[in-house]
């Protein structure tokens, strides 16, 4: 794709309710959008960075600045046609900022797909059979005030069709809450918990109590940089450990698996800094017979479309964070994704159009935009 200009926007998606996790609360989902304008097509990307640096060091305003001052100028300085695989060398001297880098790569992939009339799902798994038409719907529920509140929320989501429920936990808001969630979900619903690194190895005895709840896994129980203690915890509990924040690259993911720090992998392309690399991690997991799933970051419609396409990869063996748009937002920049199917067996349709397979609503985009700029060659 020959890039002529790049448009950056910060949008604000109105939320149904604040989302609370151990790493903080998101009350307003601001996000950076990237639009690459080429001579033959355009492409859209979404930066997954949260409004504040509570999940990782990246945040919306910082990502916008990194894109504007560092990454986009390097992209525009390249000669001729640029593909997603060229970005590694173009950004080689910029340390960090993986989510910002991934947003540019996604926009390029969308543009390439539009031009060649290939869907993102096909691009992520080019050597597999035709991509699946739907992926199972999974939802994440933030920290709530009481177990009773959580039970009500779980019952609501199960009735909407979600067959996988993930709940956030934190010290003092764990066993009673998990008990309430399991009772509300029933035995046929896949239930998992996400600690966002809120515990230490000293909590191993308490975490062993999770073995009684038939959980699919516990996600990121310990700190992101604590692979050794994750491996030790895995020896002390029966519940499988899934890593999320710890897995910052394909190399680190392979190391974590080799040292038995986890037996389930959460694949988040923005955290790797590359959607192409995320697809390669799913290839690797599939080759080893390791369960993996696609994680989310309170994504808007653009990021959600990409995650759904990635979740169609055959290596995504478990249900991921693939929820309907209206679970989190009252408005978006594209048509909403919805859950269809019976209770506990709901699915979301994988976009089949070129690239992301979505259309941007220009009126909604203008309404939801806080600021924007266009950077040209």
Helix, strand or coil, per DSSP, at residue 139: strand
316's CB contacts (< 8 A; 6+ apart) are 135, 267, 282, 292, 293, 294, 310
The residue annotated as part of the active site, out of 101, 205, 268, 367, is 268
Judge contact between 150 and 141, C-beta under 8 A.
Answer: yes
Q: Are strands 19-21 and 3-13 parallel, antiparallel or unpaired?
A: unpaired
Angle between helices 98-116 and 275-288 (to 10 degrees): 90
> Is 166 tagged catalytic?
no
Strands (E), 29-136: 29-38, 42-47, 134-136
Distance CA 368, CA 249 (A): 33
Catalytic residue among 101, 166, 168, 367: 168
Alpha-carbon distance of 251 to 371, in angstroms, equals 37
Cα separation values, 373 from 33, 118, 141, Å: 11, 29, 35
User: Is-catalytic flag, 205?
Assistant: no
Question: For residue 327, with 0-12 CB atoms within 10 Å meaning exposed, 13-18 middle and 19 or more buried, which class applies?
Answer: buried
DSSP 218-242: EE--S-TT-HHHHHHHHHH-SSPEE
In the chain, beta strands by DSSP E:
3-13, 19-21, 24-26, 29-38, 42-47, 134-136, 138-141, 164-168, 190-194, 218-219, 241-243, 264-267, 291-294, 347-349, 369-376
Q: Which of 107, 3, 98 is nearest to 46 (CA)?
A: 107
In degrees, rounded to 5, the angle at the alpha carbon of residue 53 between the alpha carbons of residues 259 and 311 is 55
- Positions annotated as catalytic residues are 168, 268
């Amino acid at each position: 794709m020959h890039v002529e200009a790049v448009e950056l926007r910060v949008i604000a998606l109105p939320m149904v309710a604040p989302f609370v996790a151990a790493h903080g609360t998101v009350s307003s989902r601001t996000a950076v959008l990237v639009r690459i304008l080429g001579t033959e097509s355009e492409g859209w990307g979404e930066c997954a960075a949260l409004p504040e640096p509570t999940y990782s060091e990246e945040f919306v305003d910082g990502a916008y600045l990194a894109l504007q001052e560092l990454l986009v100028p390097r992209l525009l300085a390249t000669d001729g046609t640029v593909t997603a695989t060229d970005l590694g060398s173009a950004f080689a001297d910029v340390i960090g900022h993986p989510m910002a880098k991934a947003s540019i790569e996604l926009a390029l992939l969308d543009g390439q797909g539009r031009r060649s009339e290939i869907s993102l799902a096909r691009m992520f798994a080019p050597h597999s059979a035709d991509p699946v038409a739907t992926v199972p719907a999974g939802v994440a529920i933030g920290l709530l005030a009481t177990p009773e509140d959580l039970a009500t929320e779980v019952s609501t989501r199960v009735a909407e069709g979600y067959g996988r429920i993930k709940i956030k936990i934190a010290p003092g808001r764990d066993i009673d809450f998990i008990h309430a969630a399991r009772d509300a979900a029933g035995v046929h619903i896949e239930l998992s918990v996400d600690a966002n690194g809120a515990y230490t190895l000293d909590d191993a005895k308490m975490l062993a109590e999770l073995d009684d709840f038939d959980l699919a896994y516990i996600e990121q129980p310990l700190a992101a940089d604590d692979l050794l203690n994750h491996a030790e915890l895995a020896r002390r509990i029966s519940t499988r450990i899934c890593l999320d924040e710890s897995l910052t690259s394909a190399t680190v993911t392979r190391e974590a698996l080799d040292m038995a720090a986890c037996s389930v992998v959460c694949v988040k392309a923005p955290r790797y800094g590359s959607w192409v690399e995320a697809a390669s991690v799913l290839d690797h997991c599939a080759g080893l017979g390791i369960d993996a799933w696609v994680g989310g970051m309170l994504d808007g419609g653009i990021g959600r479309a990409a995650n759904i396409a990635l979740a169609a990869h055959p290596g995504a063996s478990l249900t991921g964070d693939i929820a309907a748009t209206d679970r989190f937002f009252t408005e978006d920049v594209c048509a909403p994704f919805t859950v269809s199917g019976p209770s506990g067996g709901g699915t979301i349709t994988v976009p089949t159009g070129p690239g992301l397979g979505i259309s941007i609503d220009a009126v909604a985009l203008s309404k939801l935009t806080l600021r924007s700029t266009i950077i040209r060659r």
